[in-house]
Amino acid sequence: MTISTPELPRRKRQRVSLSRQQVTGLIWQIVVVGIAVAAVAWLWSNALHNLSVRRISTGFAFLGREAGMPIDDTWIAYSPKNTYLRAFIVGVVNTLRVAAIGIVLATVLGTLIGIAKLSSNWLLSRLAAIYVEVLRDVPLLLQLLFWYVLMQGLPAARAAWKPIEGVFLSNRGLILPSIPIEEANLWVIAAAVAGLIALYLLRRRLIAQQMVDGRTRHVWPYALALAIGFPALVSLALGASWTITLPELRGFNFVGGLTLAPEYFALLIALVTYTSAFIAEIVRSGIQAVPRGQWDAAQALGLRRSFVLQRIVLPQALRVIIPPMTSQYLNLTKNSSLAVAVGYQDIVSIANTTLNQTGQAIEAIALIMLVFLTISLGISLFMNWYNARIALVER
């Protein structure tokens, strides 16, 4: 009894006391956080002072004012009379449309070149290697200016190059035949997307059933019905028209068709070719990372070559390919901000104009950061999800 009572407080004291390491750790944290907070506070107070001297009001109220800035190349309705907010949305759409199309094209081109680099055909693999080396070792901005200058050097609209019927290449950009999109067409596209999703879910179920009883089930009749039949029915029911309009030259400019402005076209080419060089290297090393024995084993089982590539080699290569590919997609999106150098009005270019017009530097740059952080996060989340899906499932 007399021995056990004094032990209690001692044990308690031990629990509260910190080791020397923990004390130094705590001090370090306090010092670093203190410095960071002090620095931010100092910068912030300077900024507030400077802004009040320059009579710039902080806050995002300016977004509601009339922008008065012309934007030539838009996908959504816009006039200089619209607000800054509208201009920003136009900029975001412009950024997204160059980034999304660029990512798709760069992936296709890069994969082809990556495979070409591994070709047993000496000439093909050499050419692919030279392509990769040259594009990787010259700054993207220089390539962009180069393409833009080439675009400007193209003949005028009257003497436009016509590689095939309905396609014109001139200093007004690339003009392609187009299908006018009306409400009925949109419904048909929605039906096609819905059909594809249904098909995907159905295919998963069929495969799961096949796993259970081992009987082969054909997917193609469902594919025909859902992906082609259903949209076709919707199209007939709504009477959507799918006539292709060919652009034609009237006076000094083109009428009809889809126009890719030279700024957009130059930016797209520069982003796609530059990024494809990096993607090619990623694809090449991904395929090479799959051990040769996997090919041999699959062939020994008597599997077809295309099946081996699709089901055995690519799934394993993808595991190596996806993480660096994600960062290339992020790079392409961030690099699309070089648009400002050729006058394509993406979000950075519009924010920059806003900044010059209103002096709202902090807000404009905060908006740029917000947009890019959101896009980056979106791409990362999607790619992480995809990566987790294809990751190696070990027993």
Partner 1 sequence: MTAVTDTPQSPLPFQSRYRKTAGGRIFVWLRTNLFASIPSSIISVLLIFVLAKALISFLQWGFWNAIWILPSDQTGPCRAIRGIGACWAVVPEKYRFILFGTYPFDQQWRPALATLIFITLFFVSSRRNWWRRELVLVWAGALALIGLLMWGGIFGLSYVSQDRWGGLPVTLILATFGLAFGFPLGILVALGRRSKLPAIRSICVLYVELIRGVPLISLLFMASVMFPLFMPDGVNIDKLLRAQIAFILYAGAYLAEVIRGGLQAVPRGQHDAADALGLSYWKKNGLIILPQAIRHVIPPLVNTFIAFFKDTSLVLIIGIFDLLTTAKTSIIDPAWQSFSVEVYVFVGLIYFVFCYAMSRYSRQLEAQARSN
Q: Which residues are at the interface with partner 1 (CB under 8 A)?
A: 25, 28-29, 32-33, 36, 43-44, 46-47, 49-51, 53, 115-116, 118-124, 127, 133-134, 136-143, 145-146, 149-150, 153, 287-288, 292, 305-306, 309, 313, 334-335, 337-338, 340-341, 348, 352, 355, 361-362, 365, 368-369, 372-373, 376-377
For residue 176, report the phi and psi dihedrals to the nearest 5 degrees: -115, 155
Residue 288 CB, nearest approach to partner 1 (Å): 7
Cβ atoms of 227 and 193 within 8 Å: the answer is no
Output the CA–CA distances (angstroms, integers) from residue 190 to 100, 196, 241, 256, in the order listed: 19, 10, 15, 25
Choose between 38 and 193: whose C-beta lies nearer to partner 1.
38
DSSP state of 308: I
Cα 218 to its chain centre, rounded Å, is 35
Terminal alpha carbon distance of the chain: 56
Residue 220 CB, nearest approach to partner 1 (Å): 23
Choose between 138 and 237: whose C-beta lies nearer to partner 1.
138
Residue 182 CB, nearest approach to partner 1 (Å): 37
Output the CA–CA distances (angstroms, integers) from residue 298 to 67, 144, 238, in the order listed: 62, 44, 49
Give one DSSP letter per residue of 140-190, joined into a string.
HHHHHHHHHHHHHTSPPGGG-B-SSTT-EEETTEEEE-B----HHHHHHHH
Output the CA–CA distances (angstroms, integers) from residue 129 to 113, 123, 144, in the order listed: 8, 10, 21
Residue 207 CB, nearest approach to partner 1 (Å): 24
Choose between 44 and 200: whose C-beta lies nearer to partner 1.
44
Choose between 187 and 295: whose C-beta lies nearer to partner 1.
295
Cβ atoms of 332 and 282 within 8 Å: the answer is no
Choose between 259 and 328: whose C-beta lies nearer to partner 1.
328
Residue 84 CB, nearest approach to partner 1 (Å): 17
Count helices and strands (H / E) in the chain.
Answer: 14, 5
Residue 248 CB, nearest approach to partner 1 (Å): 26
Residue 216 CB, nearest approach to partner 1 (Å): 25
Choose between 207 and 370: whose C-beta lies nearer to partner 1.
370
Return d(Cα 61, Cα 209) in angstroms, integer. Answer: 58
Choose between 48 and 207: whose C-beta lies nearer to partner 1.
48
Choose between 96 and 141: whose C-beta lies nearer to partner 1.
141
Residue 136 CB, nearest approach to partner 1 (Å): 7
Residues 6+ apart with CB under 8 A from 115: 283, 284, 287
